[in-house]
Amino acid sequence: MERQLTLRLPAALAVKLERSARRLRRKRSEVVRQALEQFLDTQPEVRPIERVRDLLGRVRSGLPDLGQRHRDYLIQRLRRGQ
């Protein structure tokens, strides 16, 4: 069963769509469906955070209490001008 979707386009995008539809000799709706399908097919299956999750928390600062005293270290560094 097909479903209908109504959307508003900025004028510039509507002009591009119209031009593409004329050039391809297709209906605007066909061009939108094709573009949407292509866009959705190229999206990664995993969220970007999942790609780097194993790296989180792995940076070594040499400061064992950085998590608890991060504000103090930041203030010290700013006062030194670094």
pLDDT digits (tens, 9 = 90+) for 12-68: 999 999 999 999 999 999 999 999 999 999 877 777 777 777 767 666 777 788 788
Sorting pLDDT into bands at 50, 70 and 90, what band is 73? confident
Q: What is the pLDDT of residue 30?
A: 96
Residues 6+ apart with CB under 8 A from 30: 21
CB neighbourhood size of 31 (10 A):
19
pTM of model > 0.95 = no
Residues 6+ apart with CB under 8 A from 24: 31
Q: What is the pLDDT of residue 58?
A: 62
